[in-house]
Structure 1
C-alpha cells in the first residue's frame, strides 16, 4: 500500500528536545506557523492510518529496503512505513509526527530492530520488567516519553542494545549449536563402543553367554568377521590340522 511522502519533524515544544532528524523546522519560523504545520502533519498521520488495510511494514522484519543498492529515498520510505506502523499500534504516538517517531527510532532500526522490538520496548525494560504505566493515559508529552523508553534500551555510548527479537534469535542459535554438539558426542560414543568389540572378536574373544550378548549388538559384518577369526583360531589349535 503506498504511503505519503516524508513529513517534517515535530515542532519544538517546551519539554521535548528537538529530534536529531532530517527536516527540522527553522528556529526563525513563527510559533503559530510551526503549530499549524504540526497540526497538518498529525492530520496526515491520521489520514494515512485510516487508509491502512494491511501492515505498512512486517512487524518482525528488519527495517531496511529489501533490495541491494537502495537509494536514500528508499530508506526514507521504508523508515516512514515502519514509523506509521508503530503509530498504528501505539495510539499515543499519533499525537506526534511520523518524522519524530522515525528520528527517535532510526538508530534502533539501523541496529537491526523491528517494529515489534520497538513496541516491546515501550512496555518492558531491558531487564524484563514491565512498566507499571499503561502507555496510553496521562502522557503529556508523547515525544519525550517515546525517546525515554527507547533510551532505556541503549548503552552508555548511545548504541542500541540487542532487542528482544535479537536476544531470542541468539538464544535459539545457541540451543541449536548445543544440540548439534550433543548429537556429535553421542555418535562418537557409539563408534567407540563398536570398535573394541570388533577387535576382541578378531582376536578370538570369549564366546560365552556375555560375549554372545555383546556380539548380538554388533553390526552383522562385525559379527561375521569375529566368527571367521574365531574359526581360524580354533583350527590352529587343533592337532589334527598340523
Structure 2
C-alpha cells in the first residue's frame, strides 16, 4: 500500500457530488426573475394594498388630459392604468406593470378603457364567456394576458372595437334615429299649413280666415250682416224673374 494514499473516509463524512455541484460558485444560478423586476412587483403590491381610490377611471380613455403631453406624461398615465388593471386582475400582479403596459398599449392607443381590458380577459368578442377563470391554473400570466387581448384583434393586428366603444356607437345611432324621427314628425305637422299653395286650398284658407274673423264680431253686427245678405239675395232673385 502506498503511503501517499489516505484512509477511506467514513460513510457520510463528505458531501455527495450533487451537493458539491449545487454549492459550487462557478455554476450558473437557477433561472429566476431579475432583482429589479421582483422589487417592482413588491412595490406594486404595496401600492395596491394601500389603494383607496381608482388610480385611473375605469371607463376613461388612457391618455393625458392635455394635448401637449410629454413622453413622461404618457408613461405616468400608462403606469397608473397598468397598476389599476393589476388591482382588479390579481394574476397579473405576478408580472411587472411595465409588461402589462407593453401588452395593453395597442389597446390604449385604440381608445380602449381599463374596463374594456378587464372585459376582454373574461369574454370573447362574440360575447361568450371563457370557461376558465382568470384566477387559478395560469402558469404564465404574461402569455395568458397577451393571448386574451390578441383574441380582440383583427387579422392585421389592430384592436377591434371594445365594449365601451360598441356601446357608444349604439347610443350615437339611437340618438341619430331619434333626431331623424323628430324631424319627420315636425315636417308632417308643418306640411298641412304650408301645402295650401293651390287655388282651391288657398281659397278655402281665405274663407276659413274670414269666417273666423266674422265669428269674433259682436252678435248685432253679425245679425245685421245676415239680414243685409238676405235682402240682397231676395232682390237678385226678383230681378232675375
Normalising by structure 1, report the TM-score.
0.71
Residue of structure 2 equivalent to 1:191:
190
Q: CA deviation at 1:45?
A: 1.2
Larger of the two Rg values belongs to structure: 2
- Mapped to 1, the partners of 2:207 and 2:30 lie a distance apart of 91
The whole-number CA distance in structure 1 between the counterparts of 2:80 and 2:44 is 11
User: Structure with the greater relative contact order (CA < 8 A, sep ≥ 6): 1 or 2?
Assistant: 1
Distance 1:108 1:202, change over 3 A: same
> How many Å apart are 1:204 and its aligned residue?
3.7
- Aligned-pair distance for 1:67? 1.1
Aligned length: 193
The Cα offsets for residues 177-230 of structure 1, whole Å up to 9 and x where unpaired, read as 00000110111111123335696564147xxxxxxxxxxxxxxx995356469x
Structure 2 partner of 1:50: 49
TM-score normalised by length of structure 2: 0.71
Q: In the superposition, relative to structure 1, how do residues 192 and 225 fare at CA in structure 2: closer, same or farther (>3 Å)?
A: farther
Aligned to 1:95: 94
Q: Secondary structure at the match of 1:52?
A: coil
Matched, 1:203 2:188: no
Conserved in 2, the CA contact under 8 Å of 1:91 and 1:136?
yes
Counterpart CA distance in 1 for 2:161 and 2:122 is 16
Q: Does 1:153 align with 2:140?
A: no
Equivalent-residue separation in structure 2 for 1:194 and 1:141 (angstroms) = 72
**Alignment match, 1:4:** none
Unaligned runs of 5+ in 2: 1-28, 215-228, 237-241
CA deviations on 1:125-144 (whole Å, 9 max, x unpaired) are 11111111111111111100
C-alpha change, 1:82 and 1:31, in structure 2 (3 Å) is farther
CA contact (8 A) 1:117 1:163 kept: yes
> Which residue of 1 is the match for residue 209 of structure 2?
224
The corresponding residue for 1:73 is 72
Structure 1 residues 131, 228: closer, same or farther in 2, change over 3 A? Answer: same
CA shift at 1:36, angstroms? 2.6
* Structure 1 segments unaligned to the other structure (5+ residues): 1-29, 206-220, 230-234
Q: Deviations over 1:134-172 (max 9, x none)?
A: 111111111000000000011111111110000100110
2: CA distance between counterparts of 1:111 and 1:31?
Answer: 40
**What RMSD in Å do the two structures reach over aligned CA positions?**
3.0
Deviation at 1:41, TM superposition (A): 1.8
Closer, same or farther: CA 222–109 of 1 in aligned 2, 3 Å:
farther
Q: Does 1:126 align with 2:111?
A: no
Matched position secondary structure for 1:203: helix
